[in-house]
Amino acid sequence: MALMTGKNIFITGGSRGIGFATAREALLEGANAVAICSHYDETREAALKKLNEEFPGRNIVGYTFDLETCAESVIGDAMKDFIAKFPDAEGKQHLDAVCSIAGITHNNTAKNIPEGLFEKVVRVNLIGTWYVDHQAALIMRGQKYGSIVNTASIAGVYGSSMGSGYGASKGGVIGLTRSLGREMAFFNVRVNAICPGVVKTDMVMKDCTEAAIAAVSAGIAMRRMAEPSELAKMFIFLCSDNASYCEAGLYHVDGWTT
Ligand code: NAD
């Protein structure tokens, strides 16, 4: 049986990059329904169009909210709307998996970081993840099952020389995952985080020259950046029942990057 057969999965950051690849992988693995979320209608619409073309007739919906500014209840309402749309054969609503993938980065030293940017990055990456996790946990606690997968970064483990806000936010995501996972284990809800290395997405590639790609690749044991699909497979594994004993863990998918 495919890994996501019958499951409903809600993905923030699903409009592009790692989140989009995860939505696609969920559909390839037989998900019953997939929600992709973005802070821009245009990217969300473009992603929905692509997924509907590749997977016609499947249950794919989109939600728009800005994790920097939205109330936490907006995210919970989107989750509730999603599961109400796609109940199981007996009419029971279920939220099986939530991937918190949305995030932003920055490349500023302490000397040149604009006022407010540190706070913005922490707000989107850490507090945004908390809002998503909290709303998912409240629903899954009632169900007595579910899987939440967060997105950390090697910057949250080893630090980043030009991204104090980013490193702080991702370090916070690791602490959140370990704590919420310990708490939710009692309710059969798994909370884990993935730690990507350097992944070929718009976030990274938009300002990258060939020389920069070569320099970054030289610092990775596998001598190459990751494809988004290589991250997506780990997200879907952790969402699936095959990861039934994985709790409060941090899983590196980084080709051994330090
Ligand atoms: P990306 O820029 O391609 O996509 C980011 C996604 O997040 C988009 O769907 C966007 O709509 C959403 N998003 C951004 N700001 C938002 C906001 N304020 N509200 C709601 N949604 C918002 O990025 P990516 O490379 O796919 O990164 C995905 C995640 O992986 C991020 O959390 C990022 O920090 C993390 N990560 C990426 C890399 C990498 O090398 N690409 C490395 C480590 C960690």
Residue that has been written with the tokens 């997977």 in this structure: 55
State mean pLDDT over 187-208: 94
For 48-63, how does the pLDDT look when each residue is reduced to its tens digit (9 = 90+)? 999 999 999 999 999 9
CA of 126 from ligand 1 middle (Å) equals: 12
Mean pLDDT, residues 66-72: 98
Average pLDDT over residues 54-83: 98
Decide whether any atom of ligand 1 lies within 6 Å of the 172 Cβ: no
Ligand 1 mean position to 91 CA, how many Å? 34
At 154, list the tokens.
């090697």
Catalytic residue among 166, 206, 233, 245: 166
245 is an active site residue: no
Q: Which two tokens stand for residue 194?
A: 């993935």
Q: Report percent pLDDT > 70 for the chain.
A: 100
Ligand 1 pocket test: which of 199, 206, 207 has the largest number of ligand atoms within 8 Å of its C-beta?
199
DSSP tag of 126: I
Q: 206 falls in which pLDDT band (50, 70, 90)?
A: confident
By the 8 A CB rule, do 190 and 246 touch?
Answer: yes
The 189-196 sheet, strands edge to edge = 59-64, 33-38, 8-12, 97-100, 146-151, 189-196, 250-253
Give dist(CA 4, CA 19) in Å, integer: 16
> What's the pTM?
0.98
pLDDT in the model for residue 240? 98
Q: By mean pLDDT, which of 71-80, 90-99, 203-212 is the weakest? A: 203-212
* pLDDT for residue 208: 87
CA-CA distance, 233 to 26, in Å (whole number)? 9
pLDDT of residue 207: 76
Q: Are 184 and 133 in contact (CB under 8 A)?
A: no
List the catalytic residue out of 63, 131, 170, 251: 170
The predicted-structure confidence for 85-108, as pLDDT tens digits, reads as follows: 999 999 999 999 999 999 999 999
CA of 123 to the centre of ligand 1 (A): 13
